[in-house]
Every structure is written in C-alpha cells, then in structure tokens.
Chains A and B, each alone.
Chain A
C-alpha cells in the first residue's frame, strides 16, 4: 500500500496526520472552483476501460463533473460561493469558511462512499481525515491514484489523510474523533450510535447519514403503458443492481397500484427479463454466505407462508422477485431481492411509513396523483422523491440535509460603517 492510504497502528499516527492537515489548511485557502477544476480533471482520468467494471466508478465520474457540482455549490454556498467570495444579503455579506479537519466514517458496503464523503468536505475547503473500511482499501487506492495524477501540485492530495484500521480498534476511533472539527458518519444503527459516542471536541459538527431503506412505486398508467413498460423495468433493475441493493437508496419493495381490468402479468414478465439482462451485464463476483442464506430463507418463507404468493428466481442467489399484494412494508432482504406488491391505492402504502423510508422512486403517469403522493411521503419522513432509475443519484439534499454546507461555517459580515 502506498502513502495514499496509511495502515494505522497507533493513535499517534492519526494525531500526527491530523496536525499536518491542519498546517496545510492554515497555509492556504482553496476555493470550491479550484477544487472543481481538480475534480473535473479527476473525473476524466477515471474514464478508463480498466476502471469501468469497478462498482460505482461511472457514478463517481458523473458526480465529479463541473456540470454536476457548480449548481450544488451555488445552491448551498450562495451565488458567489464558487470562487470563495462574499455574497451580499441586503446590508450584510456572507462567505463560507471551512470547519477545518473533517473526519469521515463511511459505510463498509458502498464501495465509493469514502471518496464521495471526502469530496463533500474538500468542496467546502476542508481537509479530510478518512477512515477506509478494510474491504474498500484496494478500490479506494485505485481511484486515489487517479487523483494524484490529476493533482501534480498536491493542492488537494495534501489535504487528505486516509487511515485504514479495523472497525473494532476503539483507541484509533477515539483518536480520530478527538482531532476533527466536523464528522460525516454513514452507517447502520449500531455503527452510527457507536461513532456518535466517540469523544468529539465540543465544537465539532456532526452530520449523520443513518440507516434507511427505500421504496419504489408505480401507478397503473405507468406500469401498464405498452410503450414504456420495458423502459420502466430497466430503470427498476438498475436501481436494484447498483450497490447490490445494499445502499440506503436501494429499492427493497415495488408497489404497483392496481388498474381496472389490467393485469400485471406482462409487466412482471418484462421485469423478470430486465433482471435477467442486468444480471448478465453485471453479475456478482462475490457474495457473503450469510446473504445467500438470507436470500434462500426469504424465498422459502415467502412461498411457504402463503400459498397465494408467487416468486421468480434462478437457481443461484443472483436475484429474486417475490410477488404478492398488500400495502404493508415488508422486511427488506437485500441481495437483489425485490418484493413486488399490488396495492389498491399507493396512498395506503405510503400512509403506513414511519420515517424509515429515505427515497421513494416513482413511475407515475398521473401528475396530480404524483404531487399528492410526494406531499404525503414528505409528511411520512421520506427525504427524496425521484424518478425510477435515478434513486441513487447523489444530489443534495441527501437524507434531508445538504452535503457541503454542514461542513462549512457561513460567516456573516455586517459593515460597521453606516
């Protein structure tokens, strides 16, 4: 492993790394525009055939583009935020300043999340101290090597310290928490609670992106449309495939609103075909044995517990469609296991949610119904309502919060002269 990712053994290595980062921040500011120039070049360097098969790389390329990031900067940091200038608000002016060193605790199961989380802090002018989960070291290393090539003057890379250590090393987790001014925490319930309990400085700002699930829904006008059915099914399959259905934005359930006299048979056949096609294009290369067991268990209990239930699946654990009806939110299985439920009224399903649903992916022909559904979903705790096929598009607000602004200080200056 090169110096890009440090295999850390002692708390002192973390505090030394953080001290160097602090020194770099003190020496020179960096504007979001300068960061974007580097990112844009980085995105181009990731456009390489040997990287195409790596999970999340196409997604990362799109995220790092100027066209993606400029509007986000403008919305979160103000119209002059791009160049790090003051923006006038009446008699006052505001400017974003970095918090300092931002610590990142990314999820271990979303391959590019260490990078994504880090970019949010860098765009705010911060330095980034990133814990790399052990399973993601190799991929992160590959991606970071491309950043090094795009940043010969080390304007950005000097602001990054990546630390690889085991999740259970409480001493190293604590050392990391003690030296940061802000934290971005991505995790399941247990992990989030554990990391939030670390000894952060009292001034540190903490942004938590906790465990959520996501759901898809379609009205009869959309799923029954002969012209669009295949396209909707492809979109659905892509949303399921990305991140092996383990991201918080991955759909676990698809609700199909019944239409008078319309059968879902053709739609489900197209959905099966879309899953088969996606599986051929992007087959799994590894799987945790526990996930295979969970998938086998889900298939069996679905079909055994109710003889009216149906399912489609291949011999292996590649993908599973569990078919039934009802508006209750079933237990998510993950591992490309989608429960498809026919429901009389989508509003019934949404009205039962309790804040655990992050993203609602929609395929709706009826615009008025979609507005009503979005309003109800918002009330029921959903933070993102997007078109099917775009459930993972990483655009803030994410989980209901901005991505860059939480890690900057918006300084307000009111001129002392009248």
Chain B
C-alpha cells in the first residue's frame, strides 16, 4: 500500500465543498506530488514526459504548476496503465462523440473503490444520503457485465448507491433503437406521488426517447419529489436547437416537478470519481479531492476570474492510470475562485463548449476563429 492511499481516503471522508481554497490546495499538492513520484516509477514514458516538463514538480508551490497530461493521450490502445495487467478489474471507455477513438482508462480495485466513493460523496451533497427508487432512462443492457464499461454505464452505475430498487424504462428494439416501455414507467410512477425518487439519463436520451414522446402525448407522471440527474453534454441538443431552459421546463412538466429538481452534471470517464453537478446558482465546483484549473490557451497559465480558457481537471483518486492532472478538450469560464452564493467553497465555473478542433493548415482556406487574449 502506498503512503498516499491513506491520505486520499482521509480526503474522501471529508465534506466535499467545505474546505477553504488554500487549505485544499495544500492537501492536494502534497498527495499529487506523491502520486507523480509513483507514476514515474511505474511508467518509463510518463517519467520521460515529467522529466521534460519546464517546471520541477517536486518544488511546485501550487497545483497549477504540476505537469498535466492532455486527455487525448488516454486514447492510447493498449491504455496507459500504472498497474500490472492482472490487477486491472475494469476498463472504462469514453463515448467518443467528438472523435472516433474513445479514451480507455483502466481501474484496479483501489481506484474503482475510490471512484464509487467519490461520486457518492459529491452526489450526496446535492441530493442527500437516502436510498430511493431509481428510474434509469436507459436500457439494462447498457450496464453490461463484461470488463469494459462505457460512459453511460459508468454514470448509471455511479448512482446505484442511492437506489433502493432500480427500474430501467427503455428497451432496445430489433433495429437497435431505444423504445420507451410505457407499462414499466406507469408501474414505477404508480403510488409514488409522495415519494422521493431518483431519475438518471444521458441528456440527449432523456430528451429524444423520454421527454419528446411523453410531452407529445401530454403525459405527466406526477412525481413532484423526483430528483432528476442527467449528463452527457448539450451538443446533440444544440444541434436540435434545444436550450437548457426549454429542456428543464419540458422535463419538469413530464415529471410534474419543479425545474429546480433537475441537476445537470458534467463528468468524464477519464476523471474517475469526480463529477461536476450544477449548484443552485447554476455553477460547477471541484470537490475536496480534486480541483479545476482553467488555463489561458495563449499562456497555459490559470485565467483570472471572469475569463474563459481550457479546462484542466485534477483528482487524487486514480492511481491505476496517470489521470491525476488532465487538460481536457472543454472550455469554461471561471466565475470566481471562492464565494459562490450556494455556499460551496473554491472555484466556481461554467462550461462553455468544446475546444474547436485544430485542423492542419497548409495555406489552407480554413478560417481560424481565434480567441482574443488579454
């Protein structure tokens, strides 16, 4: 057992958003340095990368000075691993919506355990600890039983610790489409008008296969205490010109609940155990066992509050692959480095879409949209 594992567990047992930023930085920095040492011992290529980083991580004074990996590096196959093959319990794969190649991250038992605990700690802060009936707007087949798990399956599974029973209301058709099982849905909703229920679906699946057909028929499930969580991004809905407010209103109308019972969260399989739900102020926050840095594309230094940049996610949870410090392919705006009206401490930020993919230009007539930088 590595010495940092105890420290990670101690962080996981804390309230996720209570620590002042400076205190959180110090705790994370210490563990991340130890994890970098460990990763360098386990992977010659990673060690080579760290050795060439312009700043020596051992003398770093802040998490932002530590060497980060671009998330695209996790598309390698075989996946980047810091553990022996026989220690790998599961491989998570991303949905690969913006590229054809999915990311693949390997989980050993300790990382898998922390992943579950991390998600539970975060979600509990938003919906409370109780177990309740769990409606999954997806098919049971998506969880699979094999050694590989996709992003949808990982999200569904991540919420199971809050479930007293699980109902899946979609089923696959022979043509591979998703069909809404109305009988099962009616059965789930029956006699639960006063009960707390948990609902999860991928954003575009909720809209296309649940909200649209039910709203078209004017159906209301009459579940005013439903807590609806969704994730997976907005790109496909933006393609259909569906705004977030419209999505929330329609979804709430179908459930018969208030729109403020809907929580959109961002998660990526590469950042195992850390998700970013919207708070009541509409912002996102990093938990005590992770952080978010938004970097200026021109300098790769952290932006000041109010500015946009490329998102870097930090997490002490993974030790089976080098996913501690990942530069993502998403953009965000930092609203503040502390003091969100919701009361959660640390950075508050909002996502602002994907980083536009750079195309190779050879006197190419591909007009670049450049971000003005201060």
Interface residues of A (CB under 8 A from B): 105-110, 113, 133-135, 167, 185-192, 195, 209-213, 246-248, 284-294, 296-297, 299-301, 303-307, 309-317, 332, 334-335, 358
Contact = CB atoms under 8 A, between A and B. Distances in A.
B218 interface: no
Contacts of A190: 364, 366
B198 to A, nearest CB: 36
B240 interface: no
A188 B364 contact: yes
Given A135-B370, A293-B310, A304-B45, A288 B362 contact: no
Contacts of B68: 296
A200 B363 CA distance: 22
Contact of B371 (A289, A310, A312): A289
Contact of B47 (A292, A307, A309): A307
A30 to B, nearest CB: 28
A329 to B, nearest CB: 13
A106 B365 contact: yes
A297 B364 contact: no
Contacts of A191: 364-366
Q: Which 4 A-B pairs have the closest CB atoms?
A: A188-B364, A211-B362, A290-B358, A108-B367
A303 B43 CA distance: 12
**From DSSP, what is the main secondary structure of chain B's interface residues?**
loop
Nearest to A310: B52
A188 B360 contact: yes
A307 B371 contact: no
B48 A309 contact: yes
5 contacts: A186-B363, A246-B362, A284-B298, A291-B297, A314-B54
B358 A293 contact: yes
A29 to B, nearest CB: 31
Contact of B300 (A192, A301, A315): A315
A290 B355 contact: yes
Q: Quick one: which of A109, A187, A306, A332 has the most chain B CB within 10 A?
A: A109
Contact of A316 (B299, B361, B366): B299
Given A294-B358, A296-B70, A315 B368 contact: no
Interface in B290-340: 297-301, 309-310, 327, 329, 331
Nearest to A290: B358
B300 A292 contact: yes
A246 B365 CA distance: 11
A211 B363 contact: yes
A290 B356 contact: yes
Contact of A287 (B298, B363, B366): B298
Nearest to B367: A108
Contact of A289 (B47, B356, B361, B367): B356
Nearest to B50: A303
A123 B47 CA distance: 58
A294 B297 CA distance: 11
Contacts of B356: 288-290
Given A292-B310, A296-B70, A303-B45, A107 B364 contact: yes
A301 B73 contact: yes
A133 B367 contact: yes
Given A107-B365, A188-B365, A303-B49, A316 B329 contact: no
A85 to B, nearest CB: 34
A185 B363 CA distance: 10
Interface string B30-61: 00000000000000111111001011000000
Nearest to A105: B365
B359 interface: yes
B357 A290 contact: yes
Nearest to A187: B365
Given A289-B355, A317-B297, 4 more contacts: A188-B362, A288-B297, A304-B73, A312-B52
A326 to B, nearest CB: 17
Given A286-B373, A315-B301, A293 B329 contact: yes
Q: Quick one: which of A185, A315, A358 has the most chain B CB within 10 A?
A: A315
A113 B297 contact: no
Nearest to B73: A300
B252 interface: no
A114 B152 CA distance: 48
Interface string B90-120: 0000000000000000000000000000000
